[in-house]
Amino acid sequence: MPIHVPTPRLPTPLDLPRIPLKQPYARVPSYKPMVIPPADLEAPEETKTREEDRATEQPTQPSLRIPVIDIQMPLPTTEVVVTATYAAVAAVATTTLATPFFEKIKKKLTKFLQGKVDKWKEKRKKKKDSSES
């Protein structure tokens, strides 16, 4: 007679969703190598130098033509306009923010000095009265 071995009845497993995990990565810094020319390096004779390029390329200054009086008015460069604008904005902002502060100090200082002047006048008047009697 064959031996009957019982087999266990296992429940069906739960269907759990898989979490997709991305593989980690790292940004490794890389640097371009700096090439330093040798000390005895010279430019070929047929090449122009930067000074020669600058001498040949003279930028024309922008100007504004005023039609009524027929005058060419030169316009300032961008750097000059930016600097002037920055200075003007800084001056206006400083004045606007500092004016209430200085007015408050002026009022307190005026009140303090007026009190000292009044006390000095009273002392002087007392001295004058005591010297007359």
73 beta partners: 64
pLDDT in tens, 50-78: 665 555 666 677 788 888 888 888 888 88
pLDDT in tens, 1-25: 788 888 889 899 888 888 888 888 8
The more confidently predicted of residues 4 and 48 is 4
Dihedral angle of Cα 111, 112, 116, 122, to the nearest 10 degrees: 40
- pLDDT at residue number 126: 87
Q: Are 74 and 61 in contact (CB under 8 A)?
A: yes
* Alpha-carbon span 91 to 83, nearest angstrom: 12
pLDDT mean over 106-127: 92
Average pLDDT, the chain: 85
pLDDT mean over 75-96: 91
- pLDDT at residue number 25: 87
- pLDDT at residue number 116: 94
Q: Residue 117 — very low, low, confident or very high, per pLDDT cuts 50/70/90? A: very high
Share of the chain above pLDDT 70, in %: 90
Q: Are 60 and 50 in contact (CB under 8 A)?
A: no
Question: Is the pLDDT reported for residue 83 higher than 90?
Answer: yes
* Alpha-carbon span 20 to 18, nearest angstrom: 6
Q: Are 73 and 66 in contact (CB under 8 A)?
A: yes
The H-or-E segment that residue 92 falls in is helix 78-132
* Alpha-carbon span 61 to 121, nearest angstrom: 68
- pLDDT at residue number 131: 76
Q: Are 61 and 75 in contact (CB under 8 A)?
A: yes
